Amino acid sequence: MAYTRLFNNSLAGFLKASRSFTKSAGSTSLLTSRSYSLNKSRGLQERLNAGESILCAEGYLLALSRRGYITHGVWVPEFILEDPAVLKSVHYEMAHAGSDVMEAFQYYTHREKMREIGREDDLEKINRIALKIAREVAEEKCLLFAGGISNTNIYVKGETEERVRAMFEEQVRWSKEEGVDYMIGETF
């Protein structure tokens, strides 16, 4: 519990400092308080075109692994299937810390990693649960909603491009069907 508080305070401090820095650098449309709600009718591109700063909090993997929910080495968030409330609580922490975006925690939930741990049959289910949780928090807090794809260790130029493309396409398709505002590519 003490670590959770420390992590949240550190993240909140970082996001506030980032907002202050951006504001002092000349952005007049940036608000520094989380007491406001972003206008959900404006998407990412409109906000960026208006000169707004958009912060997407990260650190899901670290926060969840330190709590014992992620197995080191495998890094697949299997716990989402058994205890999705844990993930939802981390999304609320990210929103409270000042994130403007709820990113679905889809890190290593692609076909290859799920196959490696013998859970390929749960592939779509784990992605949809992660997406629905992020969407619920995004809607409740009037935040942007992003899906994600992560790196893979199966890519070999000239040999596996079609397999990797198909793997990413299914995650993007599910994300689109769940209504994401945009996609984030992680650790490429």
Domain boundaries defined on the chain: 2-24+40-186
State how far the Cα of 114 lies from the Cα of 170, in Å rounded to an integer.
13
Specify the DSSP class assigned to residue 188.
-
Q: What is the pLDDT along the chain (188 residues), one digit of tens a residue?
A: 333 344 444 455 445 544 444 444 443 333 333 333 455 668 899 999 999 999 998 889 999 999 999 988 889 999 999 999 999 999 999 999 999 999 999 999 999 999 999 999 999 999 999 999 999 999 999 999 999 998 888 877 887 889 899 999 999 999 999 999 999 998 87
Q: What is the pLDDT of residue 40?
A: 60
CA atoms within 13 A on the CB side of 101: 22
Q: What is the pLDDT of residue 41?
A: 63
Q: What is the pLDDT of residue 39?
A: 54
Beta-carbon contacts of 22 under 8 Å, excluding residues fewer than 6 positions away, are 30, 53
Q: What is the pLDDT of residue 16?
A: 52
Q: What is the CATH number of domain 2-24+40-186?
A: 3.20.20.330
Beta pairing class for 101-103 and 144-150: parallel
Quickly tell me which residue has 């907002």 as its tokens: 19
Q: What is the pLDDT of residue 86?
A: 97
Burial of 159 (0-12, 13-18, 19+ CB in 10 A): exposed
Phi-psi region for residue 106, left (φ > 0), alpha (ψ -120 to 50) or beta? alpha
Q: What is the pLDDT of residue 33?
A: 33
Alpha carbon distances (Å) from 177 to 144, 159, 160, 182, 187: 16, 29, 26, 12, 24
Taken in order 166, 168, 169, 175, the sign of the CA dihedral is: positive
